[in-house]
Amino acid sequence: MGSEVELKNESISRNLFQKLQEEYDFDDKWLPLIDYLCTFGLKESHFVYIYERHMACFQISQASAEERLEFLLSAGVKTKDMKRILVRQPQILEYTLSNLKSHVDFLASIGVPSARIGQIISAAPSMFSYSVEQSLKPTVRYLIEEVGIEESDVGKVVLSLSLERNLKPKYLYLVNDLKNEVKSLTKYPMYLSLSLDQRIRPRHRFLVSLKKAPKGPFPLSSFVPTDERFCQLWAGTSLEKYHTFRQSLLLTGFTENSGRKTLTSRRNCLGH
């Protein structure tokens, strides 16, 4: 390890890096970057986690990493949130400055207040992996033109969502099954980031099966708490009972989908 390298966290970094080198064969050249990332509170377990999932990000120079993360801090990301962002989306170290800027500009263009941009980056750092032109802009167009969300409200609703596979089914379920209006999304924008199969549908169907679903629009607030709190506050049942129900629902859905495919392929065979 080059002792001539000037470090910000001398005592922490050298000891930590020595361990990482012994156990994971970290390259000497990575020391300045590791040292810089330590300033955000990353520990040995975080570096190992990143190394095992995305080793390439350690090839980035300390100067490039500092330039990119300083930009995120200037965009409103809080220093205390940087550790979580780096662990969840280590590729952020590799994204060019122009890529980061284009995404921040995009958020501003859809009406996200500058004071909220940092919060959104912290909550959904994966948005930087989506193309502004190919993914984010078409998603916004869909929300305005097809879903009917007011342009001024789009900033509250949109983020890091894959249009066809993710957004559309949730929107249809919201309107057709939950009997909610589009405007409810401005109050509960997190609805669009929840899993339809793992959370939305099972909780809705579970309350219906218990005859505890209120009349009229289904309350989106029931999707917010943890499973445990949901069972206490809404269902009044044990967590185990809900998990058993959800599992059977998932299996039923899988069987139905498989059956539908088989039926379709049989029809196709008969038609030819």
The answer to whether residues 240 and 211 touch, using CB atoms and an 8 Å cutoff, is: no
271 pLDDT above the threshold of 70? no
Query: CB–CB of 26/10 below 8 Å?
Result: no
pLDDT for residue 6 is more than 80: no
Q: Which two tokens stand for residue 151?
A: 């342009």
Hey, what's the torsion of the CAs at 140, 145, 146, 150, to 10 degrees? 70
Q: What angle separates helix 10-24 from helix 31-38, to the nearest 10 degrees? A: 130
Task: Evaluate whether 8 touches 16 at the Cβ level (below 8 Å).
Answer: no
pLDDT, position 166 = 62
CA dist 78 → 82, 119, 160, 186 (Å) = 7, 8, 20, 25
The residue-averaged pLDDT of 243-267 equals 64
The alpha carbon of residue 5 and the mean position of all alpha carbons in its chain are separated, in whole angstroms, by 37
As a whole number of angstroms, the distance between CA 11 and CA 14 comes to 6
Residue 216: CB atoms within 10 A of its CB come to: 8
What SS3 class is residue 7? coil
Task: Note the pLDDT tens digit of each residue in 62-81.
Answer: 999 999 999 999 999 999 99
The rounded distance, in Å, linking the Cα atoms of 128 and 131 is 8
The pLDDT of residue 226 is: 92
Tokens encoding 110: 């859809």
The pLDDT score that the predictor gives to residue 158 is 61
Instruction: Spell out a b/e string for 1-21, using b for 16 or more CB atoms within 10 Å of the CB, else e.
Output: eeeeeebeeeeebbebbeebe
Residue with tokens 């994966």: 126
Is residue 197 within 8 Å of residue 203, measured between CB atoms? Answer: no
Listed in sequence order, the DSSP H helices in the chain are: 10-24, 31-38, 44-54, 62-74, 79-88, 97-109, 114-123, 137-142, 154-157, 168-176, 184-187, 201-209, 227-230, 239-271
Top-confidence residue, 12 or 88:
88
Question: How does the average pLDDT of the chain come out, rounded?
Answer: 83
Do you know the residue count of the chain? 272
Cα separation, 113 vs 118, in Å, equals 10
Give the span between the Cα atoms of 236 and 158, in whole angstroms. 33
Q: What is the pLDDT of residues 152-211, one digit of tens each?
A: 777 766 654 433 446 778 888 998 999 998 778 778 877 877 889 999 999 999 999 999
Using pLDDT thresholds of 50, 70 and 90, give the confidence band for residue 264.
Answer: very low
Which of 94-98, 101-105, 191-195, 196-200 shows the lowest mean pLDDT across its residues?
Answer: 191-195
